[in-house]
C-alpha cells in the first residue's frame, strides 16, 4: 500500500477505539501521510533510523504496537488481502524496537525524518528506500504463488519506481542487468517463474517415480 492509503486505513481504525485510545492512535497516521506516494515497506526502512525522545507524556509506543497487532488479527479474520496484512506486520516489526518511546514524540521524530529524506534526495536520485522496500517484499514472497503476483503488480503499477529504481532492483533481485524498466520487470518476474517451474517439474517427476 501507499503511505496515503495506509494512513487512511489507520484513521478508519480509530472509529472502533475508545475516545482515549483514539486520541493517542491519531498520532500514527500522519507518519504515513508524510510520505504519501512511498510504499509502506519503504517508509518502514526509514523508520528504523528514527531517534525519538526517551521521555515524554502520554502513551508509550508499545501500546500502539499492540493496537496494530489487534488490527492485523481483525483484518486477517476478515480475509483482507495478504499485502495489507504484510504491511501491518512490517510496521509492527519496525515500531517494536521503539516500544518504550512516547507515542507523540516518536511520531514527530518519524515525520521529521521522512521529510528530511525527501529534502536530501537530489532530483533524479535513485530512491534506494523504495528499492530496498520492494526487494525485501519480493524476496519474502518469492516462493509464494499467490503473494508474489500481488507484490509484483504493485511494483509494476508504482509510478514512483522509475527506470533507475527498476534497473537497480532487478540487479539486486535477479542478479542481471536490464536496459529498460520493462526489461527489469521481466527479469524480476522470470526469477519467480523459474522457481515455480522447477517446483512443478519436481512434483511431476516425484509423481512418475511413485507410479
Nearest to 28 by CA among 84, 89, 104, 96: 104
Question: Which residues on neighbouring strands pair with residue 102, listed in sequence order?
Answer: 60
Residue 81 has pLDDT above 90, yes or no: no
What 3-state class would DSSP assign to 102? Answer: strand
Q: What percent of the chain has pLDDT over 90?
A: 58
Q: Which of 95-99, 117-121, 175-179, 197-201 has the lowest mean pLDDT?
A: 117-121
pLDDT of residue 29: 96
Residue 37 has pLDDT above 90, yes or no: no
Confidence of residue 169 (pLDDT cuts 50, 70, 90): very high
Q: What is the 3-state secondary structure (H, E, C) of 8-56?
A: HHHHHHHHHCCHHHHHHHCCCHHHHHCCCCCEHHHHHHHHCCCCCCCCC
Confidence of residue 122 (pLDDT cuts 50, 70, 90): low
> Under a CB-based contact definition with an 8 Å cutoff, are residues 129 and 167 in contact?
no
pLDDT digits (tens, 9 = 90+) for 127-136: 888 898 899 9
pLDDT of residue 207: 64
- Cα 72 from Cα 65, distance rounded (Å): 10
Residue 107 has pLDDT above 60, yes or no: yes
* Own/partner pairs, 3-7, CB within 8 angstroms, 24+ separation: 3/32, 3/33, 3/34, 3/35, 3/36, 3/37, 3/38, 3/39, 3/40, 3/43, 4/32, 4/33, 4/36, 4/37, 6/32, 6/40, 6/87, 6/91, 7/31, 7/32, 7/33, 7/36
- What nine digits make up the cell of 158? 508504482
Residue 11 has pLDDT above 90, yes or no: yes
Q: What average pLDDT does this structure show over 64-70? A: 94
On the CB side of 187, CA atoms within 13 Å amount to: 19
Instruction: Kindly give the interhelix angle for 61-77 and 82-95, rounded to the nearest 10 degrees.
Output: 170
Residues in the chain, total: 211
Query: For all residues of the chain together, what is the average pLDDT?
Result: 89
pLDDT of residue 192: 95
Q: What average pLDDT does this structure show over 14-32? A: 93
pLDDT of residue 48: 83
Amino acid at each position: 500500500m501507499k503511505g496515503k492509503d495506509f494512513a487512511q486505513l489507520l484513521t478508519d481504525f480509530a472509529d472502533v477505539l475508545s475516545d482515549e485510545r483514539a486520541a493517542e492512535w491519531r498520532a500514527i497516521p500522519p507518519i504515513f501521510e508524510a510520505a504519501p506516494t512511498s510504499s509502506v515497506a519503504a517508509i518502514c526502512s526509514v523508520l528504523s533510523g528514527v531517534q525519538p525522545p526517551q521521555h515524554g507524556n502520554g502513551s508509550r509506543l508499545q501500546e500502539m504496537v499492540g493496537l496494530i497487532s489487534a488490527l492485523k488479527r481483525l483484518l486477517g479474520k476478515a480475509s483482507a488481502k495478504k499485502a495489507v496484512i504484510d504491511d501491518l506486520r512490517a510496521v509492527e516489526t519496525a515500531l517494536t524496537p521503539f516500544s518504550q518511546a512516547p507515542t507523540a514524540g516518536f511520531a514527530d521524530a518519524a515525520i521529521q525524518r521522512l521529510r528530511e529524506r525527501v529534502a536530501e534526495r537530489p532530483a533524479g536520485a535513485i530512491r534506494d528506500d523504495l528499492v530496498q522496500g520492494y526487494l525485501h517484499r519480493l524476496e519474502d514472497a518469492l516462493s509464494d504463488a499467490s503473494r508474489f503476483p500481488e507484490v509484483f503488480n504493485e511494483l509494476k503499477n508504482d509510478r514512483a519506481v522509475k527506470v533507475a529504481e527498476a534497473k537497480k532492483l532487478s540487479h539486486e533481485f535477479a542478479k542481471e542487468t536490464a536496459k529498460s524498466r520493462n526489461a527489469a520487470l521481466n527479469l524480476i518476474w522470470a526469477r519467480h517463474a523459474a522457481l515455480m517451474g522447477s517446483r512443478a517439474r519436481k512434483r511431476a517427476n516425484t509423481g512418475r517415480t511413485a507410479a
